[in-house]
Amino acid sequence: MKNYKTAIVIIAIFCCFFNCTTKKQQISATSNSGNTNNYKEKVDSVLSLMTLDEKIGQMVQYSAGWDLTGPASSKSAQDKLEKMKKGLVGSVLNVVSVEEVRKVQELVMENSRLKIPMLFAYDVIHGLKTIFPIPLAESASWDLELIEKSASIAAKEAAASGLNWTFAPMIDVSRDARWGRIMEGGGEDPYLNSVIGVARIKGFQGTDLSNPNTIAACAKHFAGYGFAESGRDYNTVTVGEFELHNSILPPFKAAADAGVATFMNSFNDVDGIPATGHKILQRKILKDDWNWKGVVVSDWGSIGEMRAHGYAKDKKHAAEIAANAGSDIDMESYAYEAYLKKLVSENSVALEVIDDAVKRILNLKFQLGLFDDPYRYCSEDREKNNIYTKEHLKIAREAAKKSIVLLKNEDNILPVSKNIKSIAVIGSLADDKNSPLGNWRGKGKYNSAVSLLEGIKEKVSVSTKVRYAKGIDLTIPTIKPGYNQFLYPLKFNTTDKSKIAEAVEVAKKSELVILALGEDAYQTGEGRSQVNIGFAGLQNELLEAVYEVNKNIVLVLMSGRPMDISRANEILPGILATWHLGSQAGNGIADVLFGDYNPSGKLPVSFPRNVGQEPLYYNQKNTGRPYSGKHVTFSGFRDSRKDALFPFGFGLSYTDFSYTNLTLTKSTMSKEDEVILSVDIQNTGKVDGEEVVQLYIRDFVASIVRPVKELKGFKKIFLKPGETKKVSFAINKEVLHFYTINRKWEVESGDFQLFVGGNSSTKLKTKITVL
């Protein structure tokens, strides 16, 4: 009886202490984003008061309703609300607004026994209301400070809308342009993905997660999602151990080291084991080997989908596999809430597994300051003043122009004079105010982007005649404008050529043609893989018709992936890769077209000569017959070259840069030594410019076959005409190590080649020997 009364007193004190409906609590919330140990005693004290049902509830995540990431929920809204009132739900997604978040949080804080606050999550991928360039585009800026800044603005807007958790960044290395979600990541290189992923994590999380302008980030998808066979979404992944560690895991290790709050596992299987149930990936590598203390959330329904994989016989079995493998939160599978309690009673899932997951979830809530104040993200003033501001749009414009890659500029067709007499702006994408927002545009308003046509008209002089012709309708509308098109296929116009004649007439009358071709926003994204990565619909016909009457054409390529633009490259003098650039797309493109900004973007992915080359990536390995000869061609194809049309790291400028004086402080080093490599970069042109100086290495002979070239560092510098700067890189074990035949990261003795240049095809090199 004494113990019973003591327990009642403890619970009463606890409930009073944590009841935050009327005032803030006195629990300290001073941790930074990477420190997960400050709250151990407090987490343990909460855990000790929880029933098994309440613990399992923390591992349950609901969607509030319809969502881009999956089918409509099969659970009734009323059932969900009742579970929340009882404290049997730990987090929700797709509740976005201060008013709605407060309502849901109040259900928990005013009705549940222990009053443990909820987490509120949303896919804030490249902005909430202010939309920045899609992640692949922004990666082309190679500007880590800018990328961190845009993520911090996205976090500020999300937090102002009541959210405290985003399912970003996606740091899947992807080498296949056919994969729809290539638009969501940092491209084909492990190193570039790593540093960009860390920049985004820093932007989202800041230095203190209890700051109400920051939110928890999520490194996804763990792991191998970008290696899906044939670029088909959700498809199987077959990679060996060494490829996994050297090519796929490095960005995730970097994210873990940076203190990312959460991980999301992926839909695919990895060599026969679904990632959601992959114990080696989640339990051994992530949580044990890397000693990472954050929260793992499943992707939408991925626990239940292990049945479709043929890996779980039913949902109960799937819950057992996922929990034991290390999936802490079940997003929209309803497997944990239905079966975990029974599995614990059967000793199929140990109570320690449940406790470990719940401790991680509670710790995150302490870090976010939610035990201090469950409504810290529910400020009407911040919601009114921190969203879609002039300052945010200014940064969005900067990100847009810095994400543009100049692919071709014959006879200096660019930049265009603002006093040019006449310009023809042609293409359905030119006056499109929606596609520039890209896919995964958060709460971006439909048709809210600055169009290319608007940007051009704003930039040119009053004497310039700007003529616009649509030329073609790219797609045939099948649903009302602005409606979520995630589950709806795009229908392309392949028959109606009636508008091409007008485009031809406009081109005939104009000095210069700005031709906007590429992709609708919904051609890329989740579930948007394609076997064809050329121009859809009648765009090729429009290109040929306009070119026949005016050869003075600049192609503005809008897309969410690298495309097959071989024909356009063959005939057109100017090409800009402008991706989907967000809210300020048109202004950013116009800044580059007319020379107010000298383009500095570099490709984060290789552009193919044709789709048959995919997957295509620069850091390939040599085969046993890499040479040219009578019977074996270097290309590996009989009907196409093997190399990229535009290689990884490529991007032109309106000025020129020379690289000279490549030197090493010494030509030999020990495995623990550090040598400095330096090179002089000079702006030999006539305008200011930025150059991304890239460092690559090649390990000639190793315990496993190594790539012919690997990015290991870069620096973005600004140079005035005639100015020279010395750029240096430290060559040490962090640059030279890899996951070896010994199944560990180490430096091996031998010769290494070091390359420095403006793209991955650079030939400027020197050699160093590791003793």
Q: Are strands 165-166 and 119-122 parallel, antiparallel or unpaired?
A: parallel
| Residue 296, helix vs strand vs coil | strand
Is residue 299 among the annotated active site residues?
Answer: yes
Q: How many CA atoms lie within 13 A of 679 on its CB side?
A: 24
| Residue 531, helix vs strand vs coil | coil
Location of structure tokens 């929990």: 323
Is 193 within 8 Å of 251 (Cβ atoms)? Answer: yes
Between CA 644 and CA 569 the distance in angstroms is: 13
Contacts of 537 (CB under 8 A, 6+ apart): 472, 473, 474, 475, 492, 493, 494
Which among 292, 209, 252 has a CA at the least distance from the CA of 33?
A: 209
Between CA 276 and CA 256 the distance in angstroms is: 18
Q: Are strands 765-770 and 750-757 parallel, antiparallel or unpaired?
A: antiparallel
Which among 82, 75, 124 has a CA at the least distance from the CA of 104?
A: 82
Is 526 within 8 Å of 180 (Cβ atoms)? Answer: yes
The backbone torsions φ and ψ at residue 212, rounded to the nearest 5 degrees and listed phi first, read -70, 0
Neighbours of 159 (CB within 10 A): 27
Q: Strand runs (DSSP E) across 608-761, as ranges?
A: 657-664, 668-669, 675-683, 689-699, 710-719, 724-731, 738-739, 745-746, 750-757
Which among 432, 395, 426 has a CA at the least distance from the CA of 521?
A: 432
Is 400 within 8 Å of 582 (Cβ atoms)? Answer: yes
Residue 258 Cα to chain centre, angstroms:
16
Cα–Cα distances in Å, from 572 out to 73, 576, 588?
A: 49, 11, 22
Enter the tokens of residue 411.
């006879």
Which one of the listed residues 67, 123, 143, 299 is annotated catalytic?
A: 299
Residue 149 Cα to chain centre, angstroms:
15
- Helix 351-367, helix 315-325: angle, nearest 10: 70
| Residue 190, helix vs strand vs coil | helix
Contacts of 512 (CB under 8 A, 6+ apart): 413, 416, 420, 422, 423, 424, 552, 553, 554
Location of structure tokens 């740091």: 171
Contacts of 550 (CB under 8 A, 6+ apart): 424, 507, 508, 510, 513
Angle at 519 between CA 606 and CA 149, to 5 degrees: 65
Q: Are strands 657-664 and 675-683 parallel, antiparallel or unpaired?
A: antiparallel
What residues form DSSP beta bridges with 425?
468, 514
Which helix (H) or strand (E) segment holds residue 74: the answer is: none
End-to-end Cα separation, the chain, in angstroms: 73
Location of structure tokens 């922004």: 138
Is 689 within 8 Å of 595 (Cβ atoms)? Answer: no
> Which are the catalytic amino acids?
299
